[in-house]
Amino acid sequence: MKKTNLVAEPGKQEIVITRTFDAPRDLLFRVYIDPESMPKWLGPERLAMTIHKMEVRPGGEWRYTHSEPDGTAYGFRGVYHDVVAPERIVSTFEFEGMPGHVSLDTAMFEEAGGKTTLTIKSVFQSVEDRDGMVQSGMESGMSESMDRLARLVEKG
């Protein structure tokens, strides 16, 4: 299985995640923003995902929840600031359980030789916010999500 790389340098307000997929950029981009595909890859497989809003355009809002088997739900929301298909998406990200702690996320899709490297850069308002995200288990959750995304887009 390919590795998802997550870098959080000490003292910086950002996290950079990279993963190379054996898939063309157009396909990866389409699956990444498709509200019907997203529940199949985003978040831990044990959680049910519901998309409440997904307006993939500059100024459009998004919101989804992940639910535990016992019904406990976690809400997330944001706003799309820039969408250039199939190159880039810039959006905010906020966990509703910690309102006011917003990151600015840029997802870049770069194709070379039939493979696509996805680079996600998340910039937080403070080093403390960034460290809190890292300590929340983000790395294992992101790795599982990227593994699930790879299964959707990669050939056989």
Residue 133, C-beta contacts closer than 8 angstroms, at least 6 positions apart: 15, 103, 122, 124
What integer is the mean pLDDT of 116-132?
A: 95
Label residue 138 by pLDDT band (50, 70, 90): confident
What integer is the mean pLDDT of 49-71?
A: 97
Each residue's pLDDT tens digit, 16-50: 999 999 999 999 999 999 999 999 999 999 999 99
What integer is the mean pLDDT of 51-61?
A: 97
Residue 155 has pLDDT above 80, yes or no: no
Structural domains in the chain (count): 1
Residue 4 burial (C-beta neighbours within 10 Å; 0-12, 13-18, 19+): buried
User: Which CATH number is 120's domain given?
Assistant: 3.30.530.20
- What is the rounded distance in angstroms from the CA atom of residue 97 to the CA atom of residue 54? 20
Please tell me the predicted confidence (pLDDT) of residue 124.
Answer: 96
Residue 9 lies in domain? 5-153
When mean pLDDT is compared across 56-65, 91-100, 110-119, 130-139, the lowest value belongs to 130-139
Question: Which pair of structure tokens corresponds to residue 50?
Answer: 């519901």
Please tell me the predicted confidence (pLDDT) of residue 1.
Answer: 47
Residue in the structure block whose two tokens are 């639910």 = 67
Each residue's pLDDT tens digit, 67-120: 999 999 999 999 999 999 999 999 999 999 988 999 999 999 999 999 999 999
Residue 156 has pLDDT above 80, yes or no: no
Residue 109 burial (C-beta neighbours within 10 Å; 0-12, 13-18, 19+): buried
